[in-house]
Each structure stands twice: as C-alpha cells, then as structure tokens.
C-alpha cells in the first residue's frame, strides 16, 4: 500500500493492482471474464451504487494485462472512510452474475478490435469454455491480501488513506479454492486483420523487472522510437516511406517486461516491407547513432517523467502509455511495488539513463532488434 498526497487535487484516486501469474490462453480468458464482470455486482452494493460512490474524479473501471488486473476508482475526500467497505466488497464479495458472464461470451465473436489494439495484444482469448466456477476460483485465488497492491493519490494528509484502510472493521476472508493447474498450451496469435492495415511487430525476449540494465534498455527505446528525431520516425517514415504510425513500447509480461517496436502500413501497398526488412532498416539506423542521438533520448525521457508524453513507451496497462496524470502516477507507484518490490523512483531511473554510455545503449538496442521475434498481422 502506498500514498501519493497531492494538495492540488480535489478528489482521491485509488489504483488497485492484482498480480496474475503466468498462464496460457485459458487462464487469460478467465482473467478477461473476471475483469469484465468484477464490478457488475457485489453482495451489498449494486453496480449503480458502486459507480455512484467510487467514481469521483476517477471513474470506476477494471482492465487487465498479461501480468495484472487494474481497478481504478475515485472518491470524495469526505467519503474516504465510508468507501473502504465498498472497496472490500469488490475484493471479497463480488458475485459475477451468470447472465453477465454469458452476455460477454455471446458478444465475443462480434468484437473486432482496431488495428493498433490488435497489434498491441494479438493473442486472442476464447472464453467459450470458461464457466462461472473458473472465474470464482480465480477471483478467490488472486484477491488475497498478499497479492493486491493499492495506491492512494490526491487530496488527503499523509497517512490518512492507509489509516482508513487499516481501521475498517470488516475482515478480509480467505476462501479455499480448488487446486490451480496453469494452462501450458501455446497461445494462438491473430495473423490477419479486416481493417485494411498491416502491422509489423518486433518483440524482445522477456527480461526481469529488476534487470540491472533496465535504465539502459529503456533509454534505448527512447532513442529508437520516441519523438520525430527517433530512428523509427527518421528511417521507417521519413527515409523509407513505409509507415505513417510507428512506435516503441515497454510491454508487460507475466515474468517481467519485453521491448517492442511496431509499425502500421496500408495493406494494399505492394511495396510494403516484411518484418525482416523493418528489422534490418532499424539495425542500420542504430549503428549510426551518435552522442547527439543519446542526448536527445535522455531529454525525451526527462520530459516524459516530469510533464508526460503522448509518445511515451510505457505501455503498462491497456492501449495507451502511462503518463503523468494523478491516476497514472498513483497506478505506477502501486504497480512498481508489485513488479519489483520497491517504490518507483523516477529520479533514480533518470540518473541511470544519464549514466548510460552511447555504446551501452547502442548494444542494448542492437541486441533487442537481433533477438526479437517478428510478428506480421496482414490487413485485408
């Protein structure tokens, strides 16, 4: 549990991170249904009542990624103590109405994500074999005190939010669940898209969140793909004329992170490159990096961690990067505790980036590109 008091805010955002362990397609499908129906009902609060109480400043919502379930909520400062009971209801007494689960399963075949969403998360989750018992088992297994991290940010005095949580009289029951056997089957990625856009993606092997070279790896992403001076923009768009949209991402995995580079192209372009051509072009661009490229990347990172960037590479939850809003800063504080066991320290991270030498950053970018798995989603 962590607090980020902010006197400039007039509400309190509460960001909850629930860790999900590594699993296969079936486990992802279970987590998908759990996240989509968690807030629909509880034993003491209806969905409408939860929305009314927990949507001040930050609208109540739940999302999921390969390594966590994120719950966002907001309360009026005067309602903080009263809100604790409702929050614990979500954690311990969600009901997962059978009709809501079935409605999501029935709707699944008709959901067609946009090309960028599909490029970010190409794994498809088949929910048709998931039943309510699977969702309840996962819920009781995941929503235990040792597996939940909570961040409070906004208009409160230091210590008040944690005190309100700790003084709530309702206990957190531990419910015995059936033995969990992780799905070990390989996931099936989507390889075609009806939007008319072809997407190419390069993904590094997963590396630990506590990797000693993390600042250098992240700086390599800023140099490679953040801003119009970055290699992706200069090479893939300006020089080769291959793509209008291209980005780099730090993506979460159940075991850490992966570095990713992606670009989108018109599916009807007969001169469109392959993922291997994209890789080769970026490798040539990285080989030509100078100190000026490194200085630009450090400057972009500095701006990102102080004012926020639309093009930030931190894709840690959903289809948009983490920024500097109260919600995102509070989420990142809780998420980093879950991921690394330590508070997020942007000053230390920036110091590590500034200490990285040009050849170290170039080596990290080169290793990423050479070892990356290539994925192509063909537009039609």
Q: What pLDDT, on the 0 to 100 scale, is given for residue 380?
A: 66
Q: What pLDDT, on the 0 to 100 scale, is given for residue 187?
A: 60
Q: Which residues of the chain have pLDDT under 70?
A: 113, 124, 168-171, 181, 183-195, 380
Q: Which of 152, 141, 147 is nearest to 30 (CA)?
A: 141
What is the set of domains in the chain, with CATH numbers? 2-167 (3.30.830.10), 192-379 (3.30.830.10)
Classify residue 291 as exposed, middle or buried by CB count within 10 Å of its CB (0-12, 13-18, 19+). exposed
Length of the chain: 380
Asked if residues 264 and 115 have their Cβ atoms less than 8 Å apart, the reply is yes
Q: What pLDDT, on the 0 to 100 scale, is given for residue 186?
A: 60
Q: What pLDDT, on the 0 to 100 scale, is given for residue 192?
A: 62
The CA distance from 113 to 167, in Å, is: 43
Q: Sheet with 245-253: list strands edge to edge.
A: 192-193, 373-379, 197-203, 256-266, 245-253
3-state per-residue secondary structure call for 119-148 = HHCCECCCCCCCCHHHHHHHHHHHCCHHHE
């Amino acid at each position: 549990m962590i607090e980020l008091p902010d006197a400039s805010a007039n509400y309190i955002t509460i960001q909850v991170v629930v860790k999900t362990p590594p699993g296969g397609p079936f486990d992802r499908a279970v987590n998908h249904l759990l996240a989509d129906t968690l807030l629909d009902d509880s034993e003491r609060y209806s969905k409408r009542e939860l929305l009314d109480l927990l949507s001040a400043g930050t609208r109540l919502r739940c999302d999921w990624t390969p390594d966590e379930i994120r719950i966002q909520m907001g309360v009026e400062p005067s309602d903080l103590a009263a809100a604790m009971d409702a929050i614990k209801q979500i954690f311990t007494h969600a009901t997962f109405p059978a009709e809501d689960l079935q409605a999501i399963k029935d709707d699944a075949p008709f959901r067609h994500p946009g090309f960028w969403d599909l490029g970010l998360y190409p794994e498809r989750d088949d929910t048709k074999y998931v039943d309510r018992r699977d969702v309840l088992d996962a819920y009781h297994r995941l929503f235990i005190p040792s597996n939940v991290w909570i961040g409070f940010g906004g208009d409160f005095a230091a210590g008040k939010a944690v005190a309100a949580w700790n003084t709530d009289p309702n206990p957190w029951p531990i419910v015995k669940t059936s033995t969990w056997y992780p799905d070990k089957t390989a996931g099936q990625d989507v390889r075609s898209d009806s939007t008319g856009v072809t997407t190419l993606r390069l993904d590094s092997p997963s590396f630990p969140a506590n990797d000693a070279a993390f600042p250098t790896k992240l700086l390599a992403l800023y140099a490679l793909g953040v801003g119009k001076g970055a290699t992706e923009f200069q090479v893939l768009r300006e020089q080769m004329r291959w793509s209008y949209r291209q980005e780099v991402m730090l993506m979460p995995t159940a075991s850490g992170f992966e570095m990713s580079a992606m670009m989108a192209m018109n599916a009807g372009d007969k001169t469109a490159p392959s993922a291997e051509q994209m890789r080769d072009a970026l490798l040539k661009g990285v080989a030509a990096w100078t100190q000026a490229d490194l200085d630009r990347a450090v400057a972009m990172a500095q701006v990102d961690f102080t004012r926020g960037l639309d093009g930030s590479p931190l894709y840690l939850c959903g289809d948009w990067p983490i920024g500097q809003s109260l919600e995102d800063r509070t989420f990142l504080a809780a998420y980093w505790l879950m991921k690394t066991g330590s508070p997020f320290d942007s000053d230390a991270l920036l110091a590590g980036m500034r200490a990285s030498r040009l050849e170290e950053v170039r080596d990290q970018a080169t290793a990423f590109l050479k070892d990356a798995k290539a994925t192509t989603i063909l537009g039609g």
